[in-house]
Structure 1
Amino acid sequence: MAVTLTVNGTTRQVDADPETPLLYVLRDHLELNGAKYGCGIGQCGACTVMVGNEAVLSCVTPVLLLEGRSITTVEGLGTLEKPGPLQQAFIEEQAAQCGYCIPGMMMRAQALLQADPAVDEAAIRAHLEPNLCRCGTHMRIIKAVMRAGELMRQKSQSGGAS
């Protein structure tokens, strides 16, 4: 069955069973490999993407629920040539070690910062709690999210000019 999805601003039609988890559609059909398969049961957060403005676990979300909704993956935050504020902050703070959890962490952080780029460390910690990092780079991740909030506030104050 054909399912129409809007991913990173582009509308795509995918031939997939409506019960297929979004993660498999993203990786296998759309070749967007940022979201990772971690546990497959929604407990690690490696597969986190945004649906609308909300962080969602793509490994347990069937595509049938997403028709007509906007999906953002880590690939939609920026490019190698022009990284988005969150990506830039993760680079500057060297927040990734193995990198497996980073796309999910970034997407959960993006949802938080879109709602309020002035969040404090306690709010960041609470919001990122569902996402696991086995490498132990939590302190650098938190620092990067705080830096991204600062970059987003600066961009907003300057009228969005780069």
Structure 2
Amino acid sequence: MPVEPYEAATAPGPVPTPGHPMSYSTKLSLTINGQVRDIDVDNRTTLLDALREHLHLTGTKKGCDHGQCGACTVLVDGRRVNACLTLAVMHEGDDVTTIEGLGEPGNLHPMQSAFVKHDGFQCGYCTPGQICSSIAVLDEIRANIPSHVTSDLTADAAVTVEEIRERMSGNICRCGAYSNIIDAITEVAGTQA
């Protein structure tokens, strides 16, 4: 005898979301920008939508919603992630940093300051994702993680224009501020050496 969707709700596990008997929700606990946040989301909710719609952190932008533009890039446990391509339920207990968690007016993150100094943005829509990716790029290079343009896998990774371009290739700027973004990343890399 087939189980009706409403009967399944009496079994242990997820419960149907009101109004959507075949949809389930999950309670999550994530650390967002240093603060533990508990949310209840539909299991199909992306991390991007959880941040924007449930937590009202709208600095992370929805661009293509297909992982092709990088506007939604955030840092999850220190690694960059396209928030539109991952489900919120996959990040129970993770440490998520959005653009709001990097700095604030009067106390900007060095990468944010460098983007301002070098005009690393025009319309600014892609900038939050660009900055989060830029921070991760420098961490990847410091960790000696090779990219597709790394010529010598036995040598330490280096901050070069080619490396930055390759590693930032998943972040699209429709305004074309790429050379200024490279200048900003290069400056921050020089101060961290």
TM-score (norm 2): 0.75
Aligned with 2:29: secondary structure?
strand
How far off its partner does 1:120 sit?
A: 1.8
How far off its partner does 1:18 sit?
A: 2.6
AA matched with 1:12: R
Aligned with 2:42: secondary structure?
coil
Matches within 5 A, 1:34-45: 34-45=59-70
- The answer as to whether partners of 1:3 and 1:18 remain within 8 angstroms in 2 is no
User: What is the match of residue 138 of structure 1?
Assistant: 178
The structure that is helix-richer by fraction is: 1
- Write the distance in 1 (CA, Å) between the matches of 2:57 and 2:159: 29
* Structure possessing the higher relative contact order (Cα contacts under 8 Å, 6 or more residues apart): 1
AA matched with 1:126: E
Q: Where in structure 1 do 4 or more consecutive aligned residues deviate above 6 Å?
A: none
How far off its partner does 1:3 sit?
A: 1.1
AA matched with 1:93: H
Selected match of 2:167 from 109, 127, 130: 127
TM-score (norm 1): 0.89
The Cα RMSD (Å) is 1.3
- Write the distance in 2 (CA, Å) between the matches of 1:82 and 1:23: 25
Aligned with 2:75: secondary structure?
strand
AA matched with 2:190: E
Selected match of 2:108 from 55, 75, 83: 83
Structure 1 unmatched runs, 5+? 154-162
Aligned with 1:116: secondary structure?
helix
How far off its partner does 1:115 sit?
A: 3.4
User: What is the match of residue 149 of structure 1?
Assistant: 189
- The answer as to whether partners of 1:36 and 1:47 remain within 8 angstroms in 2 is yes
Task: Among all aligned residue pairs of Structure 1 and Structure 2, give the percentage whose two residues are the same amino acid.
Answer: 42
Structure 2 unmatched runs, 5+? 1-25, 143-157
- The answer as to whether partners of 1:74 and 1:106 remain within 8 angstroms in 2 is yes
User: What is the match of residue 9 of structure 1?
Assistant: 34
Matches within 5 A, 1:63-78: 63-78=88-103
How far off its partner does 1:30 sit?
A: 1.3
How far off its partner does 1:94 sit?
A: 1.2
The count of corresponding residues between Structure 1 and Structure 2 is 153
- Write the distance in 2 (CA, Å) between the matches of 1:120 and 1:32: 33
- Write the distance in 2 (CA, Å) between the matches of 1:6 and 1:101: 24
How far off its partner does 1:130 sit?
A: 0.9
